[in-house]
Amino acid sequence: MTKRIVITGIGITSPLGGTTDETWTNLLAGASGASPLEQEWVEQLGLPVTFAAQAATKSADVLARQEVKRLDPSSQFALTAAREAWADAGTPEVDPERLLVDWATGIGGVWTLLDAWDTLREKGPRRVLPMTVPMLMPNGPAAAIGMDLGARGGERTVVSACASSTESLANAYDHLQQGLADVVIAGGSEAAIHPLPLASFAAMQALSKRNDDPKIASRPYDVDRDGFVLGEGAAALIVETLEHALARGAKIYAELLGGAVTSDAYHITAPDPEGTAAARAMRAAVENAGYSLDEVGHINAHATSTPVGDIAEYNALLAVFGDRLSEIPVTATKASTGHLLGGAGAIEAAFTAKALAEKVIPPTINLDNQDPAIPLDVVTEPRPLGDEPVLAISNSFGFGGHNAVVALRTYVA
């Protein structure tokens, strides 16, 4: 028998705030997390892009000194978000062997890796820290969370570029359906605002070059969009069976209906312009849960603000929803947060859950001149969702042709 799965806790550290409440408040207010980079290396290296969406709260302000010393920034963000989500869920009493972590990252410990390489070249092998490999490995964030919260049911790691943490959330649903756990800590983190990723993304013409005004740089669906803004941070969601949540009197943000994962098999960085596999993921996420596509009432789009990506997603949406697409309110929250890469799907799923719980869709900022080739109903001011239950999807697509979609619905007892 299919179990009902719910989201009972959310934790976020992002460019908009160091907590879920701060982030959500600033998102609804139409804030932007983008700002100029002030590190010395920006000028020294002559980077063509001199801004990013940096985390609003420094890990050193919220974590113990030893945690900052022994964890890569991607794991620091993960631990911060997971602890908040766990507390938000009411610190569930759960058998450790029934508690599972499914975490995601797109790049992993890039800061640790490249700092260690500099140390090796400049000071020799004796000065390389013994914790370098544990700090840089992609499963480091999952391990940090698992050890901190005592999860013995498994620590899974997903690495699927920008689709990673949406896939993690879809996995969480599957773990619970299969009876592998009673509670899953799912989410994703990224800390890639480093000169090498910035230079690489800039070289492939993926980043916005609006150095003179970073706050308006991320502008999904705008005719003048010119690339994404690199972001950092983490989002964690506590996911559990409804039976387990009700037994402990937990508050419930939304029901998680499941997800779907597909791949383009098209190009390592460019999306399939027809969006065929992306469309299949959207259909499957909804229909596998037993719902009709006609019931979808809100979409949190992947929408990174790239000229190619936004139109490809629109083509996929049009293939799925047809003429009804113009009636579905769409939001693109990367306009505010920047692109958190492996953490993007988790924070956007969290925003979708918050939207369903609070009955308000967060806005898409910087849409001054909507691309006529993308005639969506884009939400540009906070919009009430109404009192009826709403079915929503959250899309994530990544390099390598990874597509992941999750479906959520207003919780109804």
Q: Which residues are catalytic?
A: 162
Question: Max CA-CA distance within the chain?
Answer: 64
The rounded distance, in Å, linking the Cα atoms of 322 and 252 is 32
Pairwise CA distance, residues 225 & 360, whole Å = 26
Amino acid of residue 251 = K
Given a contact cutoff of 8 angstroms between Cβ atoms, the answer to whether 43 and 262 are in contact is: no
Residue 383 region by backbone torsions, left for phi larger than 0, else alpha for psi between -120 and 50, else beta: beta
Instruction: Please report which helix (H) or strand (E) contains residue 141, including its range.
Output: helix 140-149
For residues 98-136, one letter each, b for 16 or more C-beta atoms within 10 angstroms of the residue's C-beta and e for the rest, the string is bbbbbbbbbbbbbbbbebbeebeeeeeeeeeeeebebbb
Structure token pair of residue 22:
């701060």
Integer-rounded Cα radius of gyration of the chain: 20
Residue 106 in 3-state DSSP? coil
Burial of 334: CB neighbours in 10 Å, binned 0-12, 13-18, 19+: buried
The DSSP letter of residue 228 is: B
Sequence-ordered list of residues with C-beta below 8 angstroms from that of 318, at least 6 positions apart, any chain: 325
